[in-house]
Every structure is written in C-alpha cells, then in structure tokens.
Structure 1
C-alpha cells in the first residue's frame, strides 16, 4: 500500500511550483531512513523562513521528499541513503540546486541562496524591497456541501458600514427596513459569531446590535440554509455564521479605517496582528457615532361600528371613522467594540487559543407621535358634549401629541478558550472549547401625552435585562480510510436571563400595574451528535443525528398584588436527523440533495406575560404557554463552476408545525387599543427556487446576483374573548389561512475602470406579499459605491451612497372584520459616506505547507469545528 503526502503550492515571483511526492513502495519500506537536518540562509548568513527544500533521489524517485523551513530557517526530515539533488525555492530569492550524498543521520549544514535582482535604467542591480502583491478573491460567493460562503472584501457599497450593511448584499438573505433579517422569506434566523451564539448580538437589541459590528472586521459570512446535525437545531430558516477577522500573516500587520458620512456618521476601526514563532496575537477595535431618522405613519379605518346610543343619535350613517398617526423618531447612537486574543502552539499537534470581546453601545431617541381623529373632528364641528361622548365611548380620540424621550445602553462581554489536539497526521482530532458571555441592557423612556379632552398623561418606563451564557463544546473526528470520516460531539448551553420592568403612569390603564414585574428565565440545553461522511466514486453522503434535551424554567413575579406569580417548567427531548447527498456529474458540476429537521424555540421575552410597555395604544403581551415549533426542510441543488461564471439553483420546501404567529386584536371594540400576542397556530409551508450566480464576462466587469422565488401557504384561525362597543361579550377571530407567491432579487455589478479604480452598483427588489389579513407592498432600492487604491497599494479611498432614490420603505395594509390599517415605515433615509483605509506593513502569508491541512482542519471557524468534506 502506498502512502501519499501532499506538498502545498510554493509561490515565487516568477513561478508557481507544485511538488507532489509519492512515498516509497513496498521494498522501500525495508530501507532504514536517516534523520537529516539543515538550514537555509541568504548571502548575509541570515535565516530564510518558509523556504521550500526538495530532495530528489537520483536513483529512485519514490524516495524523494520535501519540507519547509521554520521561522528560523531550519528543517528536519527522514531520508533513505543515496544521491540527491537539493532544490531550494523561496519568495524574493533565486532558485538554487545542489547535489549531495546522504549516507547517515546528521546535520548537512547551511545552504545559501541569492536574492532576486532587478536591473535599473542605469544598468545597476538592486534588491527588491517590500513588494506586496494584492489579489482579490476570484469569486465572492462559493457553494460547499452544507453551506455557502460570502466574502465581503469586494463589497464596495458596505465599506465603512456595519454588519447590517453587509447583510443587504448576501445572497439568500434579506434585510427589512427596520433591520429585521430574513432568509427565504422567513425571519427565524439564527446568528452565530465565530460559530457560537454571542453576547455581541444581545438579547433583544435588534438592528442596534447589527449596526454595532463594523463591516471592516468581518472576514466572511457563512450562509447555512439547511444545517447539518453538528449545528444546534435552532433557526428554522437557517443560520448566519459571522466570522470575524484573525490575521494569519508573519510579523506585524494591520489596517485602520476611518469613515465620515451623512446622516451624521463617523467611525474609526482598526485590525492589528502579530505573529512570531509559536505565537499569534490579534487586536481589533474601534467605535462610531450615527444618527437615524425613522418615519412611521398609519391610517386606521373602523368598519361596522355599533355606535352607542348617545353617539348614534347625533351622527349620519356615513360618517367615516378614521384615525391618522404620524411619528418621527430620531436616534443618536454611539458604539465601541474591541476584541483581542492569541493562539499558542504548544507543539506541532497541540495548540491553545484565548479570545476576549467587549461591545458597548448607547444612545438616546426622541419620538413625536401626532394623532388625528376624523371622527372627533365631526363632533368638534357639530354641537355635542365631547366629554360625555368620550366618557361613553373611548374609541373617540381627540387630536393628541405624544412626546417620548428614551435613553438606552448596552454592554456585552465574551471570553473564549479552546484546545485543539491532533492525535496523528491522519486527521484524528479533538477540539475543546468554553465560552462565557454576559450582556446587560437598559432601556428607559419618559412619555408625555397631551390632547384636547383630558389632563396630560405622563408615563415612565424602566427596563433592565441581563443575559448570562455558558457554552461548552467537545468535538472528535476520526478518519476511516481515505474517503470517510466519523464525527461525534457534545455541547452544553446554560442561559440565564433576568428582566426587571417598571412602569409608572398617570393614566387609568388597568394593565399598567402588570408591567411592574421581575422575571427569571433559565434554559439548559444538552446536545449530542453523531455524524458519518464518505464518498464512493462520484457519490458522496453525510448522515447525522442530533439529540437535544431542553429544560426551561420561568419564574414570573408580578408586583401587582392582584396578579399571582407564575412558576413554569418545560422539558423537551427531540431528535434532529440530517442527510446530505452529492453527486459529481463532472468536474465542477455537482448535484446536491439534503434534508434536516429544525426547531424554533420561543424568544425568552416572548414568554414574559408583560415584557415591555411602549404606549397606551399598542400593548404587547407575552405568552408563557408558548411552545417551540418544528420544521422539516428539504433541498435539491445544482452547482456548476466555470472560469467565468458559477450558478447554483436550489429548489427547497419547508413544512412547519405549531408555527408561531403574531395575533393582533382589539379585546374591547370601544377602545382604539391594539394588542399583540405570540401564539402557536397551524402550519406554515414554504417552497421555492433560490438561484445564486456570478459572471465575469470581462476582466473589467464582475456580476453577482441572486433570485428567490417562493410560494407560501399558512393555515389557522385564532379565537379570543372580546367585548363589543356596548360592553357585550363576544368571540373575536383572526384568520391566518392564506397563500401566495413572492420574490426577492438582488444584482451587484462591479466595473474596474483601471488598476486602481472600481465602481459598483447594487440593486435589490422585494416583491409584494399577501396573507389572509395582511398585504405588504413591493420595495426596491439602488446603492452606489466607488473605491480608489492610493499610496502604492497601502491605502484605499471609498465612497458610497445607500438608497440613491430614497425608496427603501415598507407599506403594509392590515385588515380584519372591523378595521383596516395602512402603515408606511422608513427606517433610514438616503445616506452617503466616505472612508479611508490605511494598511500597515504586510507580512508574507503563511503557506498551507507550514502545517499540512487535512480534511479535519478548523479553518472554517464554524460550529462544526471542521471544514466540509
């Protein structure tokens, strides 16, 4: 049996060498090998690190071997005695070949190589100093067996922006106007940072958290639409794994990026790294200031109103009942972040890593809500005692103004420690990791409501929440033969969330006392998985099974003496299988089929009966009885890669049971107060075509696009107790049953005008979407970016405009048997920014040959602790 050892690519200025060495045949094993050592130096007798040294046996090529020198220019290897040609190659040095006879173990001494030289105009030769060649990745988007990877380095539009800006250009991902992220039309997306749930994204920070992570610190984004059993089962629509930068270059390297923009936006971020001998250090950090202005306008029309007698006697039958609300919310945010860590190689087979991250953001906001009631105007213009009418029927709302001043802040810490050990060079690995996280969030608001009929109402809200998380993981990998691998692992998640809410109000809202509560939420997940992957000819497969045991405890203590405390315990034990199949039709031409089962666990604050009070007109109720929903997900994909284009169409189908839906209702039809409550109801089916492609027709033109066309079908009718306008009990209902079809499309075109200047146009379209009680209008936007390389490649100047035509807004029409509501929302108006990047001295990249990379390497940085087969 023959053993094969791969020697990776050696890049030189003039040649690209690939050395493939075959080990000795059966008779060669019988020969006793000698332990040979030596060093490579330059003409100044200085060591040359990472030089390629190839020993070619003159009599028997199967006895040849190769090695790379270490940081000190030294090398060691085992050779059979004989005559050898020794070839030495290194970047910025001439190729050197010498002959030598190897007879016994020992040090063969130092071999000297000469530097490359270039001829100047005057005929003198000079050494090339500090030349850096920077080449962009050929494809910003690539498809692997169980995930898709997006490289944001070529995304000019998001330069100087945030994670939210980067996500707007990731295939299969959509970002709504309010910062909500969805995949294939579903918002149940699981976020990971470097393969783990992270305190950086907080408990319920939403868009604020996405905006606090700078785009310049993101290495890549892994889009996992159908995760394997190695991943946690949460996130029914998929997982987005954000990989942050950790430089792997020799010596000291780094970059600094400064940004200025409008609406006022400033940012300064830096990435620094240092690598020497067995140590690798990195430090990333920065901060910024942003201002946003959000518009939210709504108009509600009430139908089939059973007017009270005192009102009915005074009005004609055709008086419209309209309520208009216009709000503008201005926010001012400051955010800071820092991460630092190191990797230390204890030996050639064992390394430890330690990382610490901290993120903080704080800000304040001012929201003005102007309410206008057309029905009130009728009574204002016609003789009637308004106080009497309002007392009998509070659906009547006079013109009012609500001024809300809010202050919020968030502080998050995360510490990670890991140990990676290789038992041998065949790929048997063990990875251990521990992550400790803490997130603290404060949201305070002072609200003043005024109108024409009653005294001013003053509301004070104070919301404090803390999340503590411990994640422990162990992953083991065992190769079986050349094409198979067995994997097993264990994971423990312990999450403790506490919510302390306080509300004070001068209004007579009966629910105000219930918002003064303290809640402890604790969830523990134990997960085990087994996975086996193999390949037989052109057919590859991966089978996995994950078992998750979940325990949830909720202790809800209400400060209202009339509301009892609640202690709730829930236990779940679920199996989550996954199947991945692939068939290579030809080279770079592959069919992919997969299946996985997923779970959608309720958000912790969804289960707090009264988690957050915002205003008296819109009340959010939690549901302590909310249960998980489950999804079966199927995909059939085709991937073809050519020199100028790649195309990846995928057909998918998802079936969800006990789907979580938001019930919006009015329990008292005499009041214009809307309630929102999450419930488990019915099924949700989604099917569609997800198409991603890249096309480079010319050296100066690159095109990347995605198209998602999907259909949906939902079932379920929710019933609730209510009272009509005269106080008579009735049963209300909300019908979720419906079906429809929608689209998402994105096109990114990059023009390279010369070697240093590129411009980019980025457009997207989101088609209209309908359900039984809601219609969402279509939306489109166009972004522009330009990038100029300066300072001989050490700097980059970028300019971008987000939403050129100011069209990125959402219009939704909601309706029920007794009302129709239209809503317009724009999260951010048109913005532009300019950023400057400066790169410090760039060291040479570590070649893969320094440490042979096998199929078990953790270069992916994801939750798998290993790359795909």
Structure 2
C-alpha cells in the first residue's frame, strides 16, 4: 500500500506542476469559452470535434480544443474579439465571425451537418483511430484494422490493447484470464468460449470495449475486468451493405454479407456468413522421470501433430422500430451452426536412464464435433426527455448444444476407446436499467438483472468391446440462478466528478453428478461496492482513482469432472467443488491528449481470495511403465497482483499512425495442495507459493504508401512468467497486412500474414517431485489470408451513425456525469 500512496502523491504533484506551467501567472486575466457540438439530424454529441480561435483576418490559431464524449468543450482565452471555427471530419464547418468575448461566454449548442461531398471521399485524415483511449475504457475500432480482414473474433481480440489470446484461444486481460466477455452488453451463452470466438467472423464486429474496473451497473463477475464485443448495426438511410470474400493458406474460405435497410420508422439489419477453416499445429512434451533417490529412471518424448477443420455458418437478423419519438424497440435473432473434425496424433518414444531408445507407440484421436446455437434478444428504450432520463429493458433467450464423438487408436485399424460428449445449455436473461439526471451534473441509476441457466453434459468412455468405463464416464447437471440489483449515484463539483455504487448478487448453483447420486448445492450472496473519483485537469487531460469488488464463478471445463482423454498419460479433469473467488480492485489512471498524441497510463492492484489455479499430481496409474499425471483446477488461496500499464497513440503525419501498449505486473500467490501417494498411502502436501514478474508489449504501425496502399505491421511479446510448478517462457509474434481501395473506392483488397515468423509457440517447464517436463504447443501455424470487400450505397469513410440512442451494455453507468 505504500507504493500506491506514493504513486497517488506523485501524480498529484505532477498534475499540479503541469497546471501551473500551462496556466502561468497570467491565467487570471483569461476567460472561458464553453459550448456543445451536436450532429444536426440525430442530435447526438460529436466527440473529438475541434474548436479553433483566431484573431479576425488571421489564420494563426491562438487557442483551441476538442470536445469530450458528451460533445462539450471549454477553452480559455484572453478577453477580445475573435473568429471561432467548429469542425468535425465529413461535416460542414461552422464559423462565428468577430465574436466579442469580454467575460465567460457560453456559445450554446452548435449543430453540424454532414458534408455529402466529403463523405464520399477517401481521405487519410478522415479515418477514425484504430484505438480510442477514454478515461474509463479503451475502444478498439475493428473496421480500421486490416490485420483482422477475413479473420475471427479471436484475431480481433489479439489486437486489442491490454488483451492477449494464447495459442489455444484463451483470452486474458492484463495477464489474467479472470475476465467476463460480453456481446452487445450481454454475457455470451457459448459453452466453449474459446471455440465460439474462433467461429464468429471479425467482419461482424463493429468495436470492442475494454473496461478494466467496471462500475456497479455491470455484472460483478470478471475479477480483472470486462470485454464488451459490439456487433455491427447499420444506421445509414436507405438500402446499403457490405460483402466480404476471403481465402487463405492453410486452406481457408469465407463469405459474409451485411445488409441494412432504414426507413423513417424501421431499421432492418442482417448479417450472414460462412467460413471453412483449417488449423494445423504441432507440439511436444519431453519428460524425465526420477527414482526415489533422485537418480534418473527413464525418459519419454511425446511428439504431437494436430489438425482442426471447422465449417461454420452464422446469421443475425433484426429490426429496430421507432415506436414514438422517444421510444425504440429492437428485436433480433442470432444463429450459429458449426461442424468440424479434430485429428490429434501423439508419438511416444521411450528411453532408458542412459537415453538409449527402448521402443515407441502412438495414440491417434479422431473426433467429430458440432454445435448449434440460437438466441433471441429484445431491447426496449424509453427516453423521457433529451437530458438522459430513460428506462431500458433487455431480454435474452438462448439454447446452445455442443457435441463431440471421438475414436482413440493405438495401432492402425485398432480402436481401444471411444468417447461421446453431449452438452445442452439453456439460458434466460432479463435486465432493466433506470437513469435519472438530478440537478446540474448529478445522475441516479438503479436496475435489476436475472440470469437463469441449465446445463446438461453426458460424457461416456467405452473400451474396444463397447463397454462403458464407469470410472471415466459421467452425467453432469449444472444449474445456475443469479439475481442482482444495483444502485449508483454520480455528481460533479467543479472539476471533480464522483460515482459511487453498490450491487447485490444472490447466487444459487447446483452441481449434480447423476451417475453417482452426488448432489452439491452452493448458495451465496455478496455486496459489491464501487467508487470512482475523477479530476479534470483540462479539456485534454484527466486523472482518476477507482475501486470495485469483483467475483469470478468457476464455469465450463473448470467444474466439469469429465476427463480429457486425448492423452492417456497427461489428462485434465474439472473440479465440481470449486468455490468462487473474490477480488478487490484498485486503479489509478491518467489520460492526456495532444494534437497528435494520446497517452494513457494506470497503476493497478488486485487482491484475490480463493483464486483458481491448476495443479498437476500423479494418479498412481501407469501406462507402459509411465506414470499418469492429472491436471485439475483448485482454489489455491490468495493472490496479490500489482501492475503498471500505459497506452500511447501517435499520429506523426497524416499518412502514419502508431499505437502501442505496455503492461508490467508482479504476482504473489500463496497456497498449498494435498494429495495421497497411491504407493505409500502418505499424504503429500505441495507448497504452491509463487512470486513472479512478467510483462507484455504490443506496437502497431499503419502507413499509407504511394498509390494509396495501406501497410500495417504489428509486433507483440509476452514475457516469461514463473508458475507454482514451473514457468512459461517468453513468446514473440508479428503480423503484417496490405490493403488497396479499388472500383472507385467501393472495393478493398487486403492481404495479411498472421505470425510472420511462425514463432507463436507456447513453451513451458513443469517441475514435479518425480518428474520434470519441457513442453511446446502451437495450435495454429503461420497463416496467409486474402480478402475482397465490396460496399454499395456506403462509402469507406461512413461513420456508424447512431440515429437513435442505443443500449449496447456500456450505458451511462461507467461514465462520470458532466
């Protein structure tokens, strides 16, 4: 805590010094010019509109600024007579000539109209930044990133600041996988999240919001924060759309379309796509086994080749109805169907203590997979006035199925085991949120959310004769009901903004193993306070401190006791007795914007109890003399994490953009695990205390070359990190892409290479009492992708205009009142 106090004091000193140096002794003679900039048709605020103040008949700008997310601006200037110009990209500028300003002056609301001529031009300066850094979140605009053309949502997330996606598709935020993923502000109901993200095409995504310290308005789940994926919703008047075709190596094909038709009262939107993907991978595990006296007993080398084929179809259709001037109702249906084949071949090479070859075997796992997911969503918005007083209601009903069947062979034409895994999940979600502005700068919020889910999972393992293995087979029934209410109040006093909230969640979970009549019920309720304080240093800089209490519930493979049987000596099994973990989060942040530079930095501290951790223990079983090792999750104990992060956006020229993100963190975990030695019957206690430092960095450069060819290059590095039973080595990767507009800018050709050096390989060491192992895993090799995009009645520089205020789940709860 001393470090945090010191950081707070340091930032306050720096900001105080900065204010003095900016204002100077003569600041007392200056006056304020304020106002708001809105879009004329939709009455929506325009963020990043520029205001320039010049002397009459002079082009030199003597003062200026940009608007905040609410379209507001505040500029200081000496008393006098000035020309004022308000501009926004693709809009007609507004000029106020020879305005006499002798005291504080409010220009009121300035409405800007679209410039049709500019809208249809492709101008480099008109492009929206790939990453918008805001005080409470980072917004990643997918449409501006060429790297993800023809890719998936996993590819999108792997380019988002503070976010990493490993080779297995698992998503982490600031180095932690303890996160909550939302789609359009609602929890994704996918059974296998990593696989679901790999199936949804990047073309369906509008933007991604990263919220590292959410307010009470959001679900308490996600100890390290929330990632909100916002889908595209066409808003242009009339009929318009986009088609994208792609192909790649290894064999990949894709075709998707986005159509939109808007009238005065109704807006119809639909997205559909098909993709065929082939992912080829390799892996190895080299193990050394020891005798009781510590001498070498034997060696085992495992070589693995994997091939995963996926056929996927996804569709989304909906309509937004303007019921009255202030009431909007949107209904949509989402559908996904995926089929696939998984081939996993492992070659085992055995060696004696002298490293002499003694024999080999192999294990082939052929699996067929399939999933069918359908979801109905409904969103109702009632605006009582144009000052933010509103009521929103959301309903989501979904049904998801995941099936996989596999055959395991140890020699040609000899099947030793078969597995069947069938999962059916049903989910109903209802949410209502009420927002009431109070006075000048005050805002009250309250809401309710109910989430009711039911998952049934049948898992069978049979031997060569078709007999069921009762030790490995099970029938799991998982039911989860969560009710939540929240309230929060925000207000502003001078340059300080405050937001205080409290959320209460009641959880009822049933984990039932029907084959063994083992019934487990977990009931708990918790209060989750949150507090945010922000200080507006100037129009271009802010400082904030925040606190929230978060929770992580174990789900999916963490709680499913079904054994992953692809390897018979290294197996994984879930733990249905896991408890949730609770996290106290503290964050100190600073944001500064210049003309060409946006800089954001934060220091954060997380204190987590009952944190989840994976442990590896011997089972006492042998396969061809090799000990079988079981990996499973447990509630380890306590984990404390302290980190520092900064994001830096720089536009040195109109033709060059740079985005970078760096994160360093220290993790200190304490806990132990006990198991029974099957040979001696002795209880073994493993000390799993661990202290580790790690870091990751990402930098992306986008350059416009001659002949209007855009070139983007992204490099990322994940640093080495020590674990309780070993360490994960560092990992470097680089992606690059080129794009060119054709057909009078109605079409775009893009070519990208993912993992240019084929270097994104997960490497790790594991140290156990009787065994050490070195492993490598690469689920996806280097890929080449070529895509073509065609737009009709829609220009490349179209801004996704919100004709009506929408609720994408990011609402007003996470923002400070103004």
Q: TM-score, normalised by structure 1?
A: 0.78
Matches of 2:812 and 2:193, distance apart in 1: 27
- Any conservation in 2 of the 1:860–1:866 contact (CA below 8 Å)? no
Aligned CA distance change for structure 1 residues 462 and 251 (closer, same or farther; 3 Å): same
- Residues 247-287 of structure 1 deviation map (CA, whole Å, 9 limit, x = unaligned): 11111111101111101111111111111111111011111
Aligned to 1:749: 701
Aligned to 1:374: 351
- Any conservation in 2 of the 1:471–1:494 contact (CA below 8 Å)? yes
- Residues 751-798 of structure 1 deviation map (CA, whole Å, 9 limit, x = unaligned): 111472110111001111112321111110111111101111101110
Matches of 1:194 and 1:209, distance apart in 2: 15
Matches of 1:868 and 1:858, distance apart in 2: 18
Aligned residue runs from structure 1 range 287-686, under 5 A:
287-305=274-292, 320-375=297-352, 398-450=359-411, 458-506=416-464, 512-558=469-515, 564-610=516-562, 612-668=564-620, 671-686=626-641
Matched, 1:211 2:168: no
Matched, 1:858 2:806: yes
Aligned CA distance change for structure 1 residues 66 and 712 (closer, same or farther; 3 Å): closer
Aligned residue runs from structure 1 range 116-265, under 5 A:
131=120, 136-199=126-189, 202-206=190-194, 208-265=195-252
Aligned CA distance change for structure 1 residues 864 and 816 (closer, same or farther; 3 Å): farther
What secondary structure, in the 3-state scheme, does the structure 2 residue paired with 1:8 have?
A: strand
Alignment root-mean-square deviation, CA: 3.2
The Cα shift of 1:728 comes to 2.4
Aligned to 1:117: none
The Cα shift of 1:482 comes to 2.4
Matches of 1:90 and 1:372, distance apart in 2: 69
Aligned to 2:674: 719
- Residues 622-657 of structure 1 deviation map (CA, whole Å, 9 limit, x = unaligned): 323211011111110110011101111110111111
What secondary structure, in the 3-state scheme, does the structure 2 residue paired with 1:166 have?
A: helix
What secondary structure, in the 3-state scheme, does the structure 1 residue paired with 2:677 have?
A: strand
What secondary structure, in the 3-state scheme, does the structure 1 residue paired with 2:203 have?
A: helix
Aligned CA distance change for structure 1 residues 503 and 669 (closer, same or farther; 3 Å): closer
Aligned to 1:705: 660
Aligned CA distance change for structure 1 residues 517 and 51 (closer, same or farther; 3 Å): same
- Residues 345-375 of structure 1 deviation map (CA, whole Å, 9 limit, x = unaligned): 1111111110110011111022111011102
The Cα shift of 1:862 comes to 2.8
The Cα shift of 1:304 comes to 3.0
- Residues 651-680 of structure 1 deviation map (CA, whole Å, 9 limit, x = unaligned): 011111111111210031765101122111
The Cα shift of 1:618 comes to 2.8
Aligned CA distance change for structure 1 residues 694 and 295 (closer, same or farther; 3 Å): same
- Any conservation in 2 of the 1:431–1:865 contact (CA below 8 Å)? no
Name the stretch that deviates more: 179-188 or 661-670: 661-670
What secondary structure, in the 3-state scheme, does the structure 2 residue paired with 1:216 have?
A: helix
What secondary structure, in the 3-state scheme, does the structure 1 residue paired with 2:674 have?
A: strand
The Cα shift of 1:138 comes to 4.0
Aligned residue runs from structure 1 range 774-813, under 5 A:
774-813=726-765
What secondary structure, in the 3-state scheme, does the structure 1 residue paired with 2:191 have?
A: coil
What secondary structure, in the 3-state scheme, does the structure 2 residue paired with 1:512 have?
A: coil
What secondary structure, in the 3-state scheme, does the structure 2 residue paired with 1:210 have?
A: helix
The Cα shift of 1:514 comes to 2.9
The Cα shift of 1:799 comes to 0.6
Matches of 2:201 and 2:136, distance apart in 1: 27
Matched, 1:275 2:236: no
Q: Which runs of 5+ in 1 are unaligned?
A: 19-49, 55-61, 69-87, 93-127, 307-316, 382-397, 559-563, 852-856
Matches of 2:425 and 2:459, distance apart in 1: 15
The Cα shift of 1:580 comes to 1.0
The Cα shift of 1:858 comes to 3.5
The Cα shift of 1:378 comes to 8.2
The Cα shift of 1:826 comes to 1.0
Name the stretch that deviates more: 253-262 or 137-146: 137-146
What secondary structure, in the 3-state scheme, does the structure 1 residue paired with 2:682 have?
A: strand
Aligned CA distance change for structure 1 residues 864 and 505 (closer, same or farther; 3 Å): farther
Aligned to 2:84: none
Aligned CA distance change for structure 1 residues 245 and 761 (closer, same or farther; 3 Å): same
The Cα shift of 1:148 comes to 1.6
The Cα shift of 1:614 comes to 3.3
What secondary structure, in the 3-state scheme, does the structure 2 residue paired with 1:668 have?
A: strand
- Any conservation in 2 of the 1:599–1:629 contact (CA below 8 Å)? yes
Matches of 2:355 and 2:712, distance apart in 1: 54
Name the stretch that deviates more: 129-138 or 751-760: 129-138
Matches of 1:743 and 1:774, distance apart in 2: 17
Structure (1 or 2) with the larger CA radius of gyration: 1
- Any conservation in 2 of the 1:515–1:612 contact (CA below 8 Å)? no
- Any conservation in 2 of the 1:737–1:771 contact (CA below 8 Å)? no
The Cα shift of 1:136 comes to 4.3
The Cα shift of 1:731 comes to 2.2
Aligned to 1:26: none
Q: TM-score, normalised by structure 2?
A: 0.83
What secondary structure, in the 3-state scheme, does the structure 2 residue paired with 1:716 have?
A: strand
Aligned to 1:75: none
The Cα shift of 1:722 comes to 1.4
- Any conservation in 2 of the 1:702–1:749 contact (CA below 8 Å)? yes
Aligned CA distance change for structure 1 residues 692 and 535 (closer, same or farther; 3 Å): same
Q: Name the count of aligned residue pairs.
A: 724
What secondary structure, in the 3-state scheme, does the structure 2 residue paired with 1:666 have?
A: strand
Matches of 1:260 and 1:142, distance apart in 2: 30
- Any conservation in 2 of the 1:8–1:849 contact (CA below 8 Å)? no
- Any conservation in 2 of the 1:52–1:90 contact (CA below 8 Å)? no
- Any conservation in 1 of the 2:598–2:650 contact (CA below 8 Å)? yes
What secondary structure, in the 3-state scheme, does the structure 2 residue paired with 1:157 have?
A: helix
Aligned to 2:76: none
- Any conservation in 2 of the 1:659–1:682 contact (CA below 8 Å)? yes
Name the stretch that deviates more: 706-715 or 753-762: 753-762
Matches of 1:663 and 1:863, distance apart in 2: 40
What secondary structure, in the 3-state scheme, does the structure 1 residue paired with 2:620 have?
A: coil
Matches of 1:736 and 1:261, distance apart in 2: 44
- Residues 798-826 of structure 1 deviation map (CA, whole Å, 9 limit, x = unaligned): 01111111111011000022110110111
